[in-house]
Amino acid sequence: MRIQIKIRPAALAALAFSFVLTACGIFPEEIDVTADWSAARLYTEAKAAFDEKNWGQALKYYQKLESRYPYGRYAQQAQMETAYAHWKDGDVAAALADCDRFIKLHPNHPNVDYLYYLKGLISFNGDLGYMGYFSGQDQSERDPKAALESFETLKELVARFPESKYAEDARLRLNYLINALAAHETHVARYYYQRGAYLAAANRSQYALRHYPGTPAQEEATYLLMMSYEKLGIEELRADAERIMRLNYPNSLFLTQGLKKPKTWWQIF
| Per-residue pLDDT tens over the stretch 151-179 | 999 999 999 999 999 999 999 999 999 99
Could you tell me how many helices (H) and strands (E) the chain has, helices first? 12, 0
Q: Report in angstroms the alpha-carbon separations of 122 from 77, 81, 95, 114, 185.
A: 19, 14, 8, 12, 22
Whole-model pTM: value is 0.75
Q: Which of 236, 229, 123, 223 is nearest to 181 (CA)?
A: 123
Task: Spell out the domain ranges in the chain.
Answer: 39-91
Reduce the DSSP state of residue 269 to 3 states and report it: coil
Contacts of 249 (CB under 8 A, 6+ apart): 219, 222, 223, 255
Spatial distance between the Cα atoms of 76 and 70, rounded to a whole number of angstroms: 8
Position 140 pLDDT exceeds 60:
no
Alpha carbons within 13 angstroms on the beta-carbon side of residue 49 total 21
Spatial distance between the Cα atoms of 184 and 197, rounded to a whole number of angstroms: 17
- Kindly state the DSSP code that residue 35 receives in the 8-state scheme: T
| Per-residue pLDDT tens over the stretch 29-84 | 578 888 889 999 999 999 999 999 999 999 999 999 999 999 889 999 999 999 99
